[in-house]
Amino acid sequence: MPYERTPPTDPILTVSGNLLIIAPRAAAPARPAPTNPYRRLLATPGARAFTAGNLLARLPMGMFSVSAVIMIAGSRGSYALAGAVTATGLAATAVVAPWTARLVDRYGQARIAVPATAIAALGSLALLLCVHYGAPSWTLFASYAATATTPNTGGMSRARWAHLHRGDPAALHTANSFEQAADELCFMLGPALAALLCAALFPEAGTLVGAVLLMTGVLIFAAQRATEPPVAPRTTRTNSPLRTPGMPALLAAFLATGAVFGAMEVVTIAHAGGAILALQAAGSCVAGLLYGSLRPAVDVRRRLLGCLAGMTALMSLPLLTTSATDSLLALAGALLLAGAATAPTMVTGMTLVQRLTPEGRLNEGMTLAVTAMLGGIAAGSATGGWMVEHAGRTTGYAVPVCAAGLALAVATAGVRVPRK
């Protein structure tokens, strides 16, 4: 078991006859290092500071879309307009986010993340003012599109862990699991906080608080320069992550996995309301923390295929449950179990992204994965909504199962890990 280094001890002075004897003081017993992998992870110098800032910045990611829908629909009386505005922001993010990540890799997290976040925060505030003062509808689209410059704070945090624990697969596995659990927690708490603020204070409160939290969190995160990954020398030219063998298939698997999430969300809201979705996120959060305490996989590709197979099986539980009974309690249990496969799949997938991404392009590689997943969420939401409307709410639960099976098939056929 590793032990912490003990501080130097003061000597003891004693007198024996005419001699002055200097003897070292008995050293205090060494304290064992923490055995909990997450305590060891957060004991890394500087880790708690950048983690606190990152969590603060990540919480608004689950707030902005809900806040925008509540704010726009309440002011303009149109959920169609609200949905179109948020969809435009999602599409803009899919285009802009990889470029922002590429700049982060090239010039450093602090130099790019702070001004990019400032532009995004100003876009949120512009949206708030346009809604409040009744500006033309096109201004809502333009304002929300400006939020696409929001940096991938989760990806930047994972990049820091990869830098701090390079050469330590066990610590990196725990770090990726911790980050995935944090994602689930933020997306579970964010919508609830946004809805509470908009209802308790005023319709624009969720957007306002989200912008303040985002800017504050990124400033705290960027200030931790000691843990920031070094910028790759400009003389070092590496290929785009998209040109790495196996990466396109992995991104396609992320796209299909995003469709699982998007379809599950829409179908469940149509079936039982949005509150019950928190159970799926809770199951994923707990599973992610437990998964992080396990040993990292020797064969990451095989582990990914196993996780995708498990996700395909567990995603069938809501379909089987709603086909057999109308009990919301049974559906709640099925969603809790279905969520348990989410975090392990995402953790293993992100580990593969880190393995396949060329050196110096890590933020770009992870942002491409997130962008693919966001595109899948949009496609899954649309497909799930169509199925609910045309085939019924129970049949809608077949969409996540099919999407998970597609992710498994794509990963099996195309994902390859180069030997190092």
For residues 381 and 393, what is the distance between their CA atoms, to the nearest angstrom? Answer: 13
302 in a structural domain: yes
For residues 240 and 107, what is the distance between their CA atoms, to the nearest angstrom? Answer: 16
> Could you tell me if 267 and 396 are in contact, meaning their C-beta atoms sit under 8 angstroms apart?
yes
For residues 19 and 181, what is the distance between their CA atoms, to the nearest angstrom? Answer: 64
18 in a structural domain: no
Q: Which two tokens stand for residue 319?
A: 């379909």
**Count of CB atoms within 10 A of residue 7's CB?**
8
Both 109 and 257 in a single domain?
A: no
For residues 111 and 118, what is the distance between their CA atoms, to the nearest angstrom? Answer: 12
State mean pLDDT over 200-207: 88
State mean pLDDT over 229-253: 82
Nearest to 205 by CA among 17, 39, 74: 74
315 in a structural domain: yes
Half-sphere exposure of 54 (CA within 13 A, CB side): 28
State mean pLDDT over 88-97: 86
What residue numbers bound the domain in which 225 lies? 48-231
Both 109 and 218 in a single domain?
A: yes
Both 227 and 241 in a single domain?
A: no
* pLDDT tens-digit readout, 244-291: 889 999 999 999 999 998 888 878 878 886 678 778 888 888 998 899
Q: Which two tokens stand for residue 213?
A: 């939290």
Q: Hey, which residues does 16 pair with through a beta bridge?
A: 19
Report the number of distinct structural domains present in the chain: 2
Give the pLDDT score at 3: 40
For residues 399 and 315, what is the distance between their CA atoms, to the nearest angstrom? Answer: 10
pLDDT band at residue 31 using 50, 70 and 90 as cut-offs: low
Q: Which residue has the tokens 């209802």?
A: 199
> Could you tell me if 15 and 21 are in contact, meaning their C-beta atoms sit under 8 angstroms apart?
yes
Q: Residue 128: helix, strand or coil by DSSP?
A: helix
Q: Residue 298: helix, strand or coil by DSSP?
A: coil
- The CA dihedral of 373, 378, 382, 388, to the nearest 10 degrees, is 60
Both 213 and 241 in a single domain?
A: no
Domain with residue 59: its CATH number is: 1.20.1250
pTM: 0.79
Both 103 and 163 in a single domain?
A: yes
Residue 392 CA to chain centroid, in angstroms?
31
Give the pLDDT score at 237: 58
Longest dimension (CA), the chain: 102
Residue type, 79: Y
Both 328 and 375 in a single domain?
A: yes
State mean pLDDT over 133-139: 89
Half-sphere exposure of 222 (CA within 13 A, CB side): 22
For residues 171 and 164, what is the distance between their CA atoms, to the nearest angstrom? Answer: 9
